[in-house]
């Protein structure tokens, strides 16, 4: 289980998440994503980052089983801090970040891709934030970057998912390709971006973040406050225990 990095042509850093069976990241995994993004940005020759995953799906969110096995609140606090750092590092990465999404992208996965600059998805990809079903909140900030407000609220309240091909119509997913072609399509886009002057790319990223109408870091941190309230009230534990005991194949 790891977050690994590879530099291609001295211009592109590829960050790969691989946490079988469903890429539900433990606390250390979220911090590893954050570290990989920060490290990539330190190299002045790097012009873009590609975030991808191995396995059945892109990301199933937080590892709830790890959280329920941990006594006290260390895993909960760690997951909240780790998600915040990972999402923030992607958003603040000094170069464009491309997400290549395969299969499911749920919960914290939406937090990751919602802060990316460009999303390419496979034809089996779908997105959702099932936090309401888990007795927690978060990533509405990032879901709202993928779909309009009323649809975001409907998806959030119902815990429904939305297929990648519908997001193309909303302009948040650039293109949908057969799964076998996902990496090639993402690398082709990355090649187009990395052909640009890295000095201009970095200035462009800073400029676009500067005109963003919402402070995504502050917005997500605000959401997390309600997650802590639900945990202190014991509500979140009830839902997480139920989720673990049902033996679901996905952890979100």
Range scoring the smallest mean pLDDT among 61-65, 220-224, 240-244: 240-244
Query: Taking 60 as the threshold, does the pLDDT of residue 251 lie above it?
Result: no
Does 182 have pLDDT greater than 90? Answer: yes
Torsion of CA 176, 100, 143, 235, to 10 degrees: 120
- Over range 8-24, report the average pLDDT: 97
Calculate the average pLDDT of the chain.
94
φ, ψ for residue 188, nearest 5 deg = -65, -45
Pairing of strands 2-8, 12-18: antiparallel
Contact status, residue 122 vs residue 177, Cβ threshold 8 Å: yes
Instruction: Write out pLDDT tens, residues 187-207.
Output: 999 999 999 999 999 999 999
pLDDT digits (tens, 9 = 90+) for 71-111: 777 888 899 999 999 999 999 999 999 999 999 999 999 99
Residues 6+ apart with CB under 8 A from 143: 110, 114, 127, 129, 152, 155, 156
pLDDT of 250:
54
Q: What is the average pLDDT across 38-63?
A: 96
Question: Is the CATH number of domain 2-181+205-246 3.90.190.20?
Answer: no
Region class of 136: left (phi > 0), else alpha (psi between -120 and 50), else beta? beta
pTM for this predicted structure: 0.94
3-state secondary structure of 143: helix
Lowest mean per-residue pLDDT among 28-32, 131-135, 204-208, 211-215: 131-135
Of residues 63 and 22, which shows the higher confidence score? 22
Burial class (CB in 10 A: 0-12, 13-18, 19+), 167: buried
State the burial class of residue 214 (Cβ atoms within 10 Å of its Cβ: 0-12, 13-18, 19+). Answer: exposed
The single residue listed with the structure tokens 């802060």 is 115
């Amino acid at each position: 289980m790891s977050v690994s990095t590879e530099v291609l042509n001295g211009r592109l850093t590829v960050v790969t998440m691989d946490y079988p069976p469903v890429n539900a990241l433990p606390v250390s995994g979220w911090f590893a994503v954050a570290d990989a993004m920060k490290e990539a940005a330190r190299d002045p020759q790097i012009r873009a980052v590609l975030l991808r995953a191995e396995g059945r799906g892109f990301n199933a969110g937080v590892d709830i089983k790890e959280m329920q096995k941990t006594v006290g609140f260390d895993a909960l606090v760690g997951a909240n801090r780790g998600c915040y750092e990972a999402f923030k590092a992607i958003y603040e990465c000094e170069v464009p970040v491309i997400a290549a999404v395969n299969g499911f992208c749920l919960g914290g996965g939406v937090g990751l891709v919602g802060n990316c600059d460009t999303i390419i998805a496979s034809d089996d990809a779908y997105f959702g934030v099932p936090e309401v079903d888990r007795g927690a909140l978060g990533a509405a900030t990032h879901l709202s970057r993928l779909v309009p407000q009323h649809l975001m609220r409907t998806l959030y309240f119902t815990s429904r998912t939305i297929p990648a091909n519908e997001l193309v119509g909303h302009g948040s997913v650039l293109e949908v390709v057969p799964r076998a072609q996902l990496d090639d399509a993402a690398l082709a886009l990355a090649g187009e971006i990395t052909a640009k002057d890295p000095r201009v790319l970095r200035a462009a990223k800073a400029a676009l973040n500067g005109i963003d109408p919402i402070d995504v870091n502050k917005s997500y941190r605000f959401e997390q406050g309600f997650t802590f309230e639900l945990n202190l009230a014991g509500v979140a534990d009830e839902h997480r225990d139920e989720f673990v005991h049902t033996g679901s194949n996905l952890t979100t």
